[in-house]
Each structure stands twice: as structure tokens, then as C-alpha cells.
Structure 1
Amino acid sequence: MVELMFQCLPRRSGWVSMEIRVIEEFYINKQIKQRSHMKGSKLDGICEFYDMDGNLEQRVNFKEGNLDGFLETYIKGELSSKRSFKEGYLDGPTELFDETGTLSATINFKRDLRNGVSRFWNKGQCVREANYKDGLLEGLTEDFTADGILIQRATYLRGQLDGVIFRFWLNGNIMEETDYSNGEVVGESRLYDERGKRISDKKEKNMVGTLTKVFRGE
């Protein structure tokens, strides 16, 4: 382990004893393992962690011992996630990337809880957009195919399905409408064919019902 020290920093009122240390640790093959900054006895500034081949694995910022600012993780030197922190809490946007480096998700946090809009992508196409409040689904959630076609629209209240859920045919017409209250189904679902006509025939209902189960992942 190598420890480097820097001089005190000047302020308007004079010199302040604020020793900054850079601490470095190495693997047996002499590749850098980690490099961190400390002010007094606390981590303060950027810390970096590397694998045995010298590839960056994590880069994170501290302020007076707490995570504050960014935290980046890497796989074989490629960025896989970027998170925002404030006073030790997840606070602000988190971005996730797939193995090609393409953005796969943006999730907003407030003091460790999901808050606001979250979006998820598949190969550059948004496949889900959901709203959160205090860590729970709240408000509108929409799901899309890999081609960007809307296939489901739902509303949530304190994490529970609440209101009408719509499922759609690929041509945009409604396939199914289901009423929910506090996460429970109210009444029977209303089914429609691809032309938008209400289905009453039992056999056709069963067919469309099977399709809607596929959409639900059942």
C-alpha cells in the first residue's frame, strides 16, 4: 500500500489544517488495485477500483465519508451503470447499460426509494415507462413491444392496480378492458376482436382470453 500526502489548503481566513491523502493499493502483479482520497480519517473525493488486468471496475465519489455524487460500475472497462448519491442515499437518476453499452434503464430515486419516472429499453426501444412515488408504483404505467407499439396501459395507487387496465392489439385497437380496485379485479373483463368489436361468443372469448394471458406472462 502506498500513501501520498498533500499540503494544507489555503482559505481566505488563513491556512486550514486539512491534510489530503491519496492511498493506493496494488495486486501482486503490481497492477493498481485501488486508489482513494481521504481527508483526515474520512473518504473524501474520488475512489477507483481496478481488476488484475488494470481495467476500471468502479469509480465513486465521497464527501466527508458518505457517498455523494456519482457511482460508476464497469465490466471489463465498459460502463455498466451510473448512480447518483446525496449524503449516502441514492438520490437522482440511475442509468443502466447493456453489454453493448446501450442504455437499458433510467430509474429515479429519492433517499433510496424509486420516485418519479422510470424507463426501460430493449436495444434502444423503450418497452416500459412507469411512475413511482415513495418506492411504489403510482399513476400511469405503459408497456410496449420491441417495435414500440403500445400493448398495455395501467394505473396504480400506492403500488396496487387501480382503475381500468387496457390491453391492445398490435393494430392499436383495444383487446381487453379490466377494472381494478386496490389490486383486485372488479367485475368481468371486456374483450374485443382486432376490429374493435365487442366479443360475446364464448369460443372467441376463450381465444382472446388465452392471448391476454400471454400478454400477462401467465
Structure 2
Amino acid sequence: MRGWGWASGADLQSDAGVSQRASFLPQAHVKFPPDYPYSPPSVRFLTKVWHPNVYENGDLCISILHPPVDDPQSGELPCERWNPTQNVRTVLLSVISLLNEPNTYSPANVDASVMYRRWRDSKGKDKEYENIIRKQVTSSRSEAERDGVVVPLTLEDYCIKTKVKPDTEPVDMADFYDDDYDIDDDDDDDEELSDNDIDDGDDSGNGES
């Protein structure tokens, strides 16, 4: 499965000093193994991503995509790894969460992790990491727009939903009335049968007397 994703990146300061979220649209390839969902899919970014948890070749390092094996050396709990109850939605949500909040304790890109920590610990004063992210954001937007993808610039844009048009076709109420009449007709037939049965009974009784 190949497609465009969206992630609200690090809080960056605009030229006016206002904090803003960087709308990053990386293109990724999600590959599902033959025994999915018993084995996890893999995620590889096709867009260049400078991130503590993304390898140089674009492979993503995240616990939820690791096979469910007991590996004490990894530092991961079994419950943090893949299990068959996970699905595409939970994977994508986990990826977006990791892009927003990198795991610097077990980085796939050590240089990016060191640079990110310097930026984070300096509260944005160290601009090296921020400048790289800005270039990534601009590049990813341009690539997405060339592919005809509408780029959401804010969280509100990302969450907007298309309104469903109301059904303006008039409802034929005769269908409901026909159903009611059918029921009433059946009831009338039952009543007529009951009256006939009673009359027959009375006539036979009078005849005997």
C-alpha cells in the first residue's frame, strides 16, 4: 500500500515568533506480509525523513511493528509489540504519534536524535534541527501538490469532514398507508369470518330447538 500521509511536526517558531505546527506530508510504502495480521506490516518512507526513529533508508523503527517475540535486550515489553488485534488504523496513528513525539531512548538515526534533543533542551534556540524540518516540510508539500494532494496546513484543516448532502427525494407516504390498509383489510376479513362462524352456530342451535 502506497500513499501520502500527514503529520503535525514539531512546534516551530514563525518569523513573527508565533508557535506553529509544521504540516509534514511524507509519502510512505506499507507492506503487508502473507500471514498478516499474525505478523506486522512494515513501513518505509519514500520521502526523505530526518527523524530520530527513521533509518537512513526510510525504514521506520517503532515497537508496534516489531514481531511479538520475547526479547529482553530490546527494552520493549511484549504488550508494546505487534499483536493480531492491531490494524491499519492503529498503525498509522502510532506512526503519526511517533513523528510528533520522537523516542530518543532507542534511536534509529543517532545524529537526528542528538540534534533533536539539542533543539528540545534549548527550547528552540538551537535552530539546526528546526531548519532541517522546515526544508522537509516545504519539500513534502511541493511533492504532494504536484501529485494533486490537497495540503492541510492546520489541525482544523486535517480534521475537517465533508458534509453529507441531505436526501431531498420526497418520501412516498402512500407506501406506508398501503401497508396500513393491507393490515386493516386482513383484520376486516378475520372479523367477517368470525361473524359468519357465530351466525352459523346460532342457526344450527335454533334449528334443534
The structure in which a higher percent of residues are helix is 2
Whichever of the two has the greater Rg, that structure is 2
TM-score (norm 1): 0.21
The structure in which a higher percent of residues are strand is 1
